[in-house]
Structure 1
Amino acid sequence: MKKIAIGIDLGGTTIKFAFLTKDGQVKTQWAVPTPVHNSGRSIVPTIIESIQNKMIEQALTSDHIVAIGMGSPGSVDRANGTVTGAYNLGWVDTVHIKEAIEQALEIPFVLDNDANAAALGEQWMGAGQNEPNVVFLTLGTGVGGGVIVNGELVHGFLDTAGEIGHLKVEDNGFACTCGQVGCLETVASATGIVNVAKKEAPYFIESSALAKVIVEKQMITAKYVFESARSQDPLAEHVLKKVGQYLGIACANIANILNPSTIVLGGGVSKAGELLLSYVVPNFERNAFPTIAKHTAIKIATLENDAGFLGAASLAFESAESK
């Protein structure tokens, strides 16, 4: 039997697992709800028990598994295998994941940031097409990122490389959760798109159905803004022009520094697909160094919910090979 790795994508709602071969073939995959109650104390025991049960079901022992990889939200200490401040999991204090899992399962364990794991997944098996130089932006509630150079994740001095959501795009913009103002996250995430729409709505009251909905204090989403743009609503089109400009310039700056072959846009906002690209790509091409503008592909992510566990499994294989 081929040796396999276990990939885990730890999220605030669901924990996704998969057993994979080294060529990326998923042998089995499953998910369990994330038990965030009781300050997340049940999360690690749930992960251990779920893997143990699946190994029994699949007639696997620890000898069949090279390593376990996991992507986690929060502040990840890769060297020590700990996570601090994953608030959507209820983890305020430091959680010693590596120690607990290795002790229980007797399988090597490797940990990284969830956006980095998703970046590896998209680079390996998704839109990155296994190219060695890929940048991944995840456009969700916030904006995260992962940078892969020469096939390796870039972590930086403090393990915080790839904080693309905190590129400054406005001098006097919206306040960001990081404490700064004008970060890309405040205008290009799902939340950010709504921010921009609400700010611009008063100027479009006479011409836009979307503006009327906003002024009447009804709830809107980024998806609703994209749907309105498809119906050629003037405010929605104006908002996406602004968001496309922010994202296009950010991608141009990233590409000018790193020269990736591909920039992949993922997360919930990327479900807008070609409509999103139609606003981002022209701004990218206008602002990037000409050679880079000509040869860099900007693509929509293809793996959706599978990117995290695929990338985590590739981390596991990589760590096993380096030992």
Structure 2
Amino acid sequence: MSQIELKDQKGSKLAILQALRVHGSMSRIDLTRLTGLSRATISISIGELMENGLVYETENRLVTKGRPATTLELVPHSRVILGADLDHKAWTLGAFDLLGNAVKVMKIPIHSFEPEHAFSTLSKEITSFSKSLDVSSVPLVGLGVPGLIDWKHRAIRSAADLGWQHVEVAELMEKAIGWPTVVVNRHRARGLAECRYGAGQPFRNMIYIGVGMGIAAGFFIDRQLMSGSMGGAGEIGHITIEPEGPLCPCGNQGCLQVLSAGPAIEQEFRKLVRTYEHTSPFADESMDLQFLKAHDVCELAEAGDDMAAMVVKKAASYLGIAMANMLNTFNPEAIILGGTIPNASRLFVDTATKTMRQRAMRPLSADTIVTTSQYMDIGGALGAANFAFDKNISLSFFN
């Protein structure tokens, strides 16, 4: 077989693997349509993938007008990919198979947000974590991290909330563990997990918005993450909502992040409590306001506290304005809200949705679905693992 023929055959198998990963199980006919490969090429490549234990045919036959067709699926637990997500002073490290099933997950606390400490803490655990698995690991790791990521997905250009600038993440990790490392914004990683395995599975075009200590979005076209020319597509936390609003760590005024994210909710509630000497019947009166977190305010609002509800509604309304603008611009099938704030407050989600529908073009907003994420702790790690494999998929990993 010539080098060209060998390359074409490898490319065909990779195309099939990727189609099954992104779009799920399907028939040979659907694979032919989706990949553009001939039926003969599909047949040969599927046979080799089945011999390697990566693909199998299900016994459930699809209902078709003509000849019954079996579906092709990836084999569960054939290989695992590692992904990690940094949030709440801890890494979530997970091993996931090609179908997105979690094989093993662990939490790794960090005690300093100095970048060298944060990444060395993770790298020290990865090797032993991989060796502890019963399934062979693909020698590759994806990391979901805060901030703006460079277009090569190797470094953090800026994470203003942590004071990080130009952190060469992939270089640090590859030197420590010897594996290729791919870096992605943690909210976009979580969005990818929702798109492929969670609340976004029914949709081909969707927006994921993560709201926690910061705000970022992922735009998904035909179930693929849109990165933008410099890797910054989805930095909606830094779109201007109030031109004369509070100063943002990025240097701008009135960014969505300083109006809707966790710190904004905490600061607004503290200010109102001190101004009006408000005592919540649902809060511990001995609670130090400096230790009050956004999820505490959300819980108070859900329990019926008027002042907490007012704060949550205000933050959510700003997000709703941004959602309306994105809906008019992008026209997605669905918007999925994730992160600590939407997951802690139905009031936040309902208020943001109501504002979006009021401010967006009615013909566009009427059919747009707004829902919340299904994945909590492992979504970022799962999405980062998937994103890394998308960027580095190779048959050499399966030899």
Cα deviation, residue 132, structure 1: 2.5
Deviations 1:124-145 (A, max 9, x none): 2222226232212221122222
Q: Which residue of 2 aligns with 1:151?
A: 223
SS at match of 1:241: helix
1:272 maps to which of 329, 344, 349: 344
Does 2:82 correspond to 1:10? Answer: no
Deviation at 1:85, TM superposition (A): 4.7
Structure number with greater CO (CA < 8 Å, separation at least 6) is 1
Is the partner of 2:213 in helix, strand or coil?
coil
Larger Rg: 2
2:335 match = 263
Q: Percent identity at matched positions?
A: 28
Q: Which of 76-85 and 143-152 deviates more?
A: 76-85
Offset of residue 50 of structure 1: 1.9
Give, in angstroms, the shift of residue 262 of structure 1. Answer: 1.7
- Displacement of 1:68 after TM fit? 2.0
Q: How much does 1:116 deviate?
A: 1.7
Within the alignment, does 1:70 sit opposite 2:143 as a pair?
A: yes
CA distance in 2, matches of 1:18, 1:72: 15
Counterparts of 1:99-248 in structure 2, within 5 Å, are 99-102=171-174, 105=177, 107-129=179-201, 131-197=203-269, 205=276, 209=279, 218-219=289-290, 220-230=292-302, 232-248=304-320
Q: Indicate which of 26, 46, 54 corresponds to 2:102.
A: 26
Q: 1:55 aligns with which of 103, 120, 130?
A: 130
Provide the residue aligned with 1:94 in structure 2: 167
**How many residue pairs end up in the alignment?**
315
What letter corresponds to residue 351 of structure 2 in structure 1? Y
Instruction: Quote the Cα distance in structure 2 between the aligned partners of 1:151 and 1:131.
Output: 8
Counterpart amino acid of residue 177 in structure 1? P
- Unaligned runs of 5+ residues in structure 2 are 1-52, 54-77
The 1:291–1:109 alpha-carbon spacing in structure 2 relative to 1, beyond 3 Å, is same
Aligned amino acid, residue 71 of structure 1: G
The one-character-per-residue Cα deviations of 1:284-311 (angstroms, maximum 9, x if unpaired) are: 1111111221111111222111111010
Give the superposition deviation at 1:33. 2.1
Q: 1:257 to 1:85 in 2, by over 3 A?
A: closer
Give the partner amino acid of 1:186.
V
Q: Distance in 2 between matches of 1:235 and 1:49?
A: 45
Q: Which amino acid aligns with 1:49?
A: K
- Cα distance, 1:314–1:199 mapped onto 2, change above 3 Å: same
**CA deviations over 1:36-82 (Å, ceiling 9, x no partner):** 37x44344444333222123222566xx4163211122442242622
- Whole-Å Cα distance in 2 between the matches of residues 244 and 103 of structure 1? 43
Shift of 1:277: 2.3
Structure 2 match to 1:284: 356
**In the superposition, relative to structure 1, how do residues 218 and 14 fare at CA in structure 2: closer, same or farther (>3 Å)?**
closer
Secondary structure of the 2:392 match is: helix
CA contact (8 A) 2:153 2:184 kept: no
| Deviation of 1:257 (Å) | 0.8
Distance 1:231 1:176, change over 3 A: same
The alpha-carbon distance between structure 1 residues 88 and 184, as it changes in their structure 2 partners (threshold 3 A), is: closer
1:251, distance to aligned residue in structure 2 (A): 0.8
Could you tell me whether the CA contact under 8 Å between 1:65 and 1:107 is conserved in 2?
no
Gaps of 5+ in 1: none
Q: Quote the residue 2:378 is aligned against.
A: 306
**Structure 1 vs Structure 2 CA RMSD:** 3.3
- Answer yes or no: is the 8 Å Cα contact 2:151–2:230 preserved in 1: no
Compute the TM-score of the two structures, normalised by the length of structure 2.
Answer: 0.68
**Residues 315 and 223 of structure 1: CA distance in aligned 2, closer, same or farther (over 3 Å):** closer
1-side partners of 2:120 and 2:208: how far apart? 31
Cα deviations across residues 142-192 of structure 1 (Å, max 9, x unaligned)?
Answer: 222222222222222322221111222223222211112221112211221
- The alpha-carbon distance between structure 1 residues 91 and 13, as it changes in their structure 2 partners (threshold 3 A), is same
More moved, 301-310 vs 230-239: 230-239
Q: Is the 8 A contact 1:225 1:236 kept in 2?
A: yes
Counterpart secondary structure, 1:295: coil
- Would you identify which runs of 4 or more consecutive aligned residues in structure 1 move more than 6 Å? 87-90
Higher mean C-alpha deviation, range 310-319 or range 98-107: 98-107
Equivalence for 2:32: none
Does the Cα contact within 8 Å between 1:139 and 1:266 map onto a contact in 2?
A: yes
3-state SS in 2 of match to 1:131? coil
Q: Does structure 1 conserve the Cα–Cα contact (< 8 Å) formed by 2:93 and 2:106?
A: yes
Question: How high is the TM-score relative to the length of structure 1?
Answer: 0.82
Distance in 1, matches of 2:308 and 2:117, equals: 43
